Structure 1
């Protein structure tokens, strides 16, 4: 029951991520990337602060500030890479490249968290990855795809940090301190960018902050129930949401390979025991 609940939380979080990606994509290619990230982190910190002051033992320095420093750096690097990639690639392409992250998460969980995923877990992840290949097909490598791959690595490392904190700190405390650290790290980048302040970017930053808080809270809550590696296949569902949104808003093609890939991704979410049960029923 806990695994099913955690997977449900991750699927909802992935839908939120896909919607946020859609908002960014609609801004076009000439947006101040670091300024947008700065506004998102600023509003996220301000929105979380009242909850911390009122309900979570008041405002005090986190004992895990070193992890927050590292995660703040990851937030800046990962989001910048992802935003630049999404501005120049289709939704389904950049999301597919990003979803190398679950593969890396299984490996990193074994290395840094001493998690030992069983054979079934590895099979589920591999099946999901095959679904991604079916959707993306052979892609021509370019700088923006490489940025998306880098963002995937950063996302996997970020998940490891969240797992280390998930049972030690309230999710909102984790969210606040990581955002605050990222905020200070982004200021020099915004000054270097030198872009003019725009009301539209501020508004989008606020919307992304709301989505970011919801997504991070759901993700941390899911990690409280099960190991990070067990959630890896569920993260692939974000690709399905991106494919549908890309088709609806940007006329991105969903061909037979994409449909097959989506089916394969959902297959990866089914426990092997359940697949065997379906086969037995089919024989009967």
Structure 2
């Protein structure tokens, strides 16, 4: 699976979505009712440990001047990762796996909205309609007769994830993605260490295994995105990531005995279908542009 063809890139991204869902499973399996900051600390530590040899290899095999690029941005993203990690843990502790993941998949909607605000990207009627339907989907999925902290956490996690994703555009292109991820996690350690100390709970060694496994899955997901989007146009393969919602339904049912009701399915359709339409629309637009370009080239050659 080289990721050089559309089919192989899609398969890699589907595997990545599986690892992302598996990461959520391990977080949900941990008993973190009162040790949320501690668990997030363990995850950051293991991320650094697993990425360290990769980061050293990238540092030794690349231009040393790139190692210190984007430190301010890595610092911001590292502390946002802490916030996202805490919100993710809180939401998964109470919400069913499929319900939480359905809300998480609204992140692309926030990316489009924030992209229009921060990067002056064009905000079409289709995008606005997708956003409205996505928010309707959230209401259908959560059916908030009462507002709980886990519901708010799931929505806030999607928002923080969207902002962090937009910041990737500003990362230095000369720098390896995995090296940058290591630096980001290093910057996350001071803040999450302070929070874990402030939490004041006795270290729960039973959660270390789940923190390590979730960290491995996070790295594997990052690697899959790095390969899956490297050689092909993102609009052609990004819909493959929505397979994670299927994995959430299946793993939630198999491991936790959760049976999603009709509302979760309907709400998920409100979230996913408009995004799939936008992705399909972009593919058609790119094909037309490519066809027009080829036609002009042939006319010029004639």
Alpha-carbon contact 1:76-1:186 (below 8 Å) kept: yes
Matched, 1:269 2:276: yes
Correspondence 1:78 to 2:81: no
Give the conservation status (yes or no) of the 8 Å contact 2:43–2:212.
yes
- Give 3-state SS (helix, strand or coil) of 1:139's partner: coil
Deviation of 1:129 (Å): 3.2
Query: Distance between the aligned counterparts of 1:5 and 1:135, measured in 2?
Result: 35
Whole-angstrom distance in 1 between the partners of 2:282 and 2:49: 46
- Bigger mean CA offset, 29-38 vs 99-108: 29-38
Aligned to 2:22: 19
> Is residue 2:53 matched to residue 1:47?
no
Query: Alpha carbons of 1:258 and 1:205: their partners in 2 closer, same or farther (altered >3 Å)?
Result: closer
CA deviation profile, 1:217-266 (whole Å, cap 9, x unmatched)? 33344555578788775544322221221122222223455556667746
> Does the 8 Å contact 1:106/1:232 carry over to 2?
no
* Unaligned 5+ runs, structure 1: 276-284
Could you tell me which residue of structure 2 aligns to residue 146 of structure 1?
152
Q: TM-score, normalised to structure 2's length?
A: 0.75
State which of 68, 90, 93 in structure 2 corresponds to 1:87: 93
Of stretches 103-112 and 213-222 in structure 1, the one that deviates more from structure 2 is: 213-222
Which residue of structure 2 aligns with residue 205 of structure 1?
211
Contact 2:32 2:39 in 1 (8 A): no
Q: CA RMSD in A?
A: 3.6
Q: CA deviation at 1:165?
A: 2.1
Give the distance between the partners of 1:227 and 1:67, measured in 2 at CA. Answer: 25
Q: How does 1:185-200 map to 2 (within 5 A)?
A: 185-200=191-206
Partner of 1:175: 181
- Would the alpha carbon gap of residues 254 and 90 (structure 1) be closer, same or farther in structure 2, given more than 3 Å must change? closer
Deviations 1:39-62 (A, max 9, x none): 111121122121222343367742
Q: Distance in 2 between matches of 1:48 and 1:188?
A: 22
Q: How many residues align?
A: 274
Provide the C-alpha distance between the structure 2 equivalents of 1:226 and 1:185, rounded to a whole number of angstroms. Answer: 37
State how far apart, in whole Å, the 1-side matches of 2:75 and 2:140 are.
36
- 1:134–1:260: 8 Å Cα contact kept in structure 2? no
Larger radius of gyration: 2
Is 1:242 the counterpart of 2:248 in the alignment?
A: yes
Is contact 2:88–2:153 with CA below 8 Å preserved after alignment? yes
- Which ranges in structure 2 are unaligned for 5 or more consecutive residues? 285-302
Residues 138-147 or 6-15, more deviating: 6-15
**Residue 279 of structure 1 aligns with which residue?**
none
* Cα displacement (A) at 1:103: 0.5
Deviates more, 1:123-132 or 1:235-244: 123-132
